[in-house]
Structure 1
Amino acid sequence: MAGRRDKVQSIRGSRIVVAIVIGVLVGCVFAFLFPHGFFSSNPPIQNRRTIKSNYQSGSSCESPERVNMLKSDIASLTDRNVELKKQVRKLTEKLRLAEQGKDHAQKQVMVLGDQHKVGPMGTVKGLRTNPTVIPDESVNPRLAKILEEVAVGKELIVALANSNVKSMLEVWFTNIKKAGIINYLVVALDDPIAEFCKTNDVPVYKRDPDVGIDSIARTGVYLRNPFDYLYRDSDVESMTDGHNNMTAYGYNDVFDEPSMGWARYAHTMRIWVYNSGFFYIRPTIPSIELLDRVADRLSKEKAWDQAVFNEELFFPSHPGYTGLHASKRTMDYYLFMNSKVLFKTVRRDDKLKKLKPVIIHVNYHPDKLPRMQAIVEYHVNGKQDALDAFPDGSEW
């Protein structure tokens, strides 16, 4: 029995050896016939050569078409690049404005938040500036497009003009160009002025004239860029009709009534009115409310717009009336100069007449055009006696 088992095991061992040998031989055969394997992604050399040859032949036939396609792609990418640059500029401007308002936003949070700390005595500061509003371009898309092209940092100078002030308007925009100011716009109240501006390459917006706007004559002479001299810490910054520190910036005026005996003296705080011919407004709710109030009153009553401007800006709340809550700043009257300061004081002072104002507004004199021209001769062309022939005031 033992010999039989040994024989069976010997036969099984021989079969295994034979199977291994056959497997090795089959493997060698397949290795020789299919050197790249059954599932190789690379075709045989002969096939690869055929494919390459066909591709080269096809590309030579299609090369003009491909060149045109590439040219079209390049042109499309160029246009896209220009558009992306515009978007980058817009985003950069938004980022700048966001950074500019960062400090203000932090102050707002401090003031409007739940916890209020006023700080030590002598260091208490209130929030001086209101947040700006978001523009609504849908109100006037045509104007919005013009403003986007003209404004710098969302700021620009606006002047209203009709044919009555054509000569003064020309002096105005000529000196604005000389001063290097590019962000300005003329609101034309009639077709001749609109055409006049277009002919002289002046940005213009044409609108229908309002009732009662017949004597627009508020153009001044620009000698420097006013945007370099603004504080931007108030809703309204305006030039003044005042001619010295007291009248321009305020003073304690004592009213005397002898019949009151012991209480005959009453103290009043006074300031000369703001000149509505030149003022800067931030795009805030209070400043827009100011313009809205002025426009509403002028549409309903016959009144002087400068008087209405000051009344709405300064009158406090009282029974039956809610005052405007707007912050105000009076401009430096030597930089933003009215014609009284110039002709009565500055031109007669050897030190003061060396100053170069930002703007001179001819508001105190009816002979506006010749005085504007004389101002240009003096400050721009250097003619030292250009102002001498004019009297301090008007001769009626």
Structure 2
Amino acid sequence: MAGRRDGLLTRDKGQSPRGSRIAVAIVIGVLFGCVFAVFYPHGLFSSDSLIQSRRIDKSDVQIGSSSCELPERINILKSDIQSLLEKNAELNKQVKGLTENLRLAEQGKDNAQKQFLVLGEKHKAGPFGTVKGLRTNPTVIPDESANPRLAKILEEVAIQKEIIVALANSNVKSMLEVWFTSIKNVGIPNYLVVALDDHIEEFCKSNDVPVYKRDPDKGIDSIAQTGGNHAVSGLKFRILREFLQLGYSVLLSDVDIVYLQNPFDYIYRDSDVESMTDGHNNMTAYGYNDVFDEPAMGWARYAHTMRIWVYNSGFFYIRPTLPSIELLDRVAGRLSREPKSWDQAVFNEELFYPSHPGYDGLHAAKRTMDYYLFMNSKVLFKTVRKDAKLKKLKPVIVHVNYHPDKLPRMKAVVEFYVNGKQDALERFPDGSQW
């Protein structure tokens, strides 16, 4: 009875045998959970493995648990990676090709792309008589890596990125002295002598003349040090290129020139090349319509031709533009291949010849200087000195290019225009004696 009573009392408290079993099961579950938590902190199936498998397999295709499927999947992934690498290499190749094309366009190799870069957006034509094309090409981006030492000198000597440059070796020492003395008398500060030998370098330094001695160049040093006027003249196109690459406009000057005014006050700066002329009047200097007569053609016997006397390659102003650098490259290239060619002839041919079958002409803007201001010696001795009105005109420079007795005529020019000696020019003939 007591047992039955205890059982009844137990039932009354809700402690049934079924409830005890549940409680025991819960306790056992908690214990097992703790054990698993200790020995398997990341669970039986790693979530990282699942995440990695999903990253590898973007299509969310489940990788089989079979060890046979895993190597096959790895091979597929390797194949995909190799394909991506090949595509990446192809893209890199295409990028390099585009970069090279852009570089060529910037250097002016592709004229169509160059014109697009220069012209920019298209414009509508304005009313009649108001339309004007481009006159001035943009300057290049300065590249000091072309010649850091020269860049430092030009930074100190040049004014507003402009400078007078002359090449000289010991053969022209006497004329060089008259040349830089006249420049000093005018008060021109921005000029530089490119010394082609050690003696000229020391001579310039002793006379407080800005000088630049080039680094040794086995290919041209022998010509530079011992060559005559024409040989040295041919070198200037190669040497000038560095000045233009550095972003400087150059007034190239031979040494058989007397300066009477500052030429930079008379430069227009609206063209790639602005040059003095070998012409001696309006027709020869600025161009004219020359009629060629061929009687055998009958009705069509008269053929009209356009003529102009050549630009003087011993005195010209050249801006740092792509066409200007291309001109220097063309002339220097031809002179190296045609050593017997005259640099002035080649200079004019490359500047004026138009495009035609088998030849691409140079697209450079040109301006002819006033032949009374930038005067050649033919104009002076054949015309000006014989005209009372013209004798009162003071030119900017006088270039003794038409006469071989250069030094005495240069000194006479100084006597006439600087010292006021009115008969200083009279003793010379119009032309040369031979």
Q: TM-score of the superposition, structure 2-length normalised?
A: 0.65
Per the alignment, residue 386 of structure 2 pairs with 348
Q: Deviations over 1:327-384 (max 9, x none)?
A: 0000000000000000000000000010110000000000000000000000011111
Contact in 1 for aligned 2:277/2:309 (Cα 8 Å) = yes
Q: Give the match for residue 152 of structure 2.
A: 145
Find out whether 1:216 has 2:226 as its counterpart: no
**Aligned 8 A contact 1:162 1:216 in 2:** no
Q: Which amino acid aligns with 1:139?
A: A
| Distance in 2 between residues matched to 1:204 and 1:347, nearest whole Å | 35
Structure 1 match to 2:322: 285
The aligned residue for residue 164 of structure 1 is 171
The residue type paired with residue 349 of structure 1 is D
The one of 224, 235, 243 equivalent to 2:272 is 235
Listed as ranges, the matches of 1:94-109 within 5 Å are none
> Could you tell me which amino acid in structure 2 is paired with residue 243 of structure 1?
H
Residue 114 (structure 1) shift: 3.8
The DSSP-based 3-state class of the residue aligned with 1:138 is helix
The residue aligned with 1:297 is 334
Cα distance in 2 for partners of 1:347, 1:283 equals 37
Counterparts of 1:236 and 1:350, CA distance in 2? 33
Shift of 1:113: 4.4
Summarize deviations over 1:130-151 as a string: whole Å, max 9, x none: 0001111111111111111110
| SS state at 1:156 partner | strand
Contact 1:187 1:205 in 2 (8 A): yes
3-state secondary structure, aligned to 1:267: strand
1:359 maps to what in 2? 397
Tell me by how many angstroms 1:386 deviates. 0.4
Instruction: Read off the aligned partner of 1:271 and give its amino acid letter.
Output: I
The one-letter amino acid paired with 1:190 is D
Query: How far off is 1:216 after superposition?
Result: 2.6
Q: Give, in whole Å, the separation in 2 of the partners of 1:311 and 1:179.
A: 34
Show the counterpart of 2:353.
315
Which of residues 368, 378, 382 is equivalent to 2:406? 368
* 1:111 Cα deviation after fit: 8.5
Which secondary structure state, in structure 1, belongs to the residue aligned with residue 316 of structure 2? strand
Match of 2:194, as an amino acid?
V
Equivalence for 2:48: none
2:119 matched to which residue of 1?
112
Q: Does 1:257 align with 2:294?
A: yes
Alignment counterpart, residue 192 of structure 2, candidates 181, 185, 197: 185
Deviation at 1:115, TM superposition (A): 4.0
- Extract unaligned runs of 5+ from structure 1: 1-107
Between the aligned partners of 2:317 and 2:371, the Cα distance in structure 1 is 14
Inter-partner Cα distance in structure 1 for 2:400 and 2:372:
14
What SS class does the counterpart of residue 278 from structure 1 fall into?
Answer: strand
Q: Distance in 2 between matches of 1:110 and 1:188?
A: 38
2:299, 2:223 → 1: CA distance? 50
**Equivalent residues of 1:275, 1:306 under 8 A apart:** yes
Query: Once superposed, what is the RMSD of the aligned Cα atoms?
Result: 1.7
Decide whether the 8 Å contact of 1:160 with 1:216 is kept in 2: no
Q: TM-score, structure 1 length as denominator? A: 0.71
Contact kept, 8 Å, 2:118 with 2:138, in 1: the verdict is: no
Q: Which amino acid is the alignment partner of residue 132 of structure 1?
A: T
Paired residues of 1:186 and 1:204 also in contact (CA < 8 A): yes
Amino acid at match of 1:197: C
User: Counterpart in 2 of 1:131?
Assistant: 138
The answer to whether the 8 A contact 1:234-1:329 is kept is yes
Equivalents in 2 of 1:183, 1:237: separation in Å? 18
Secondary structure of residue in 2 paired with 1:312? helix
Mapped partners of 1:286, 1:115: distance in 2:
22
CA distance in 2, matches of 1:169, 1:280: 20
Counterpart of 1:338, as a letter, is N
Q: CA deviation at 1:123?
A: 1.1
How far apart in 1 are the matches of 2:122 and 2:312? Answer: 41
Identity %: 83
C-alpha distance in 2 between matches for 1:113 and 1:227: 31
Name the SS of the counterpart of 2:145 in structure 1: coil
Q: Report the count of equivalent residues.
A: 289
After TM superposition, what 4+ stretches of structure 1 lie above 6 angstroms from structure 2? Answer: 108-111
Aligned residue in 2 for 1:326 = 364
Q: Relative to 1, partners in 2 of residues 1:115 and 1:188: Cα closer, same or farther, differing over 3 Å? A: closer
Structure 2's unaligned 5+ residue stretches are 1-114, 231-253
Residues 41-86 of structure 1, C-alpha deviations (whole Å, 9 max, x = no match): xxxxxxxxxxxxxxxxxxxxxxxxxxxxxxxxxxxxxxxxxxxxxx
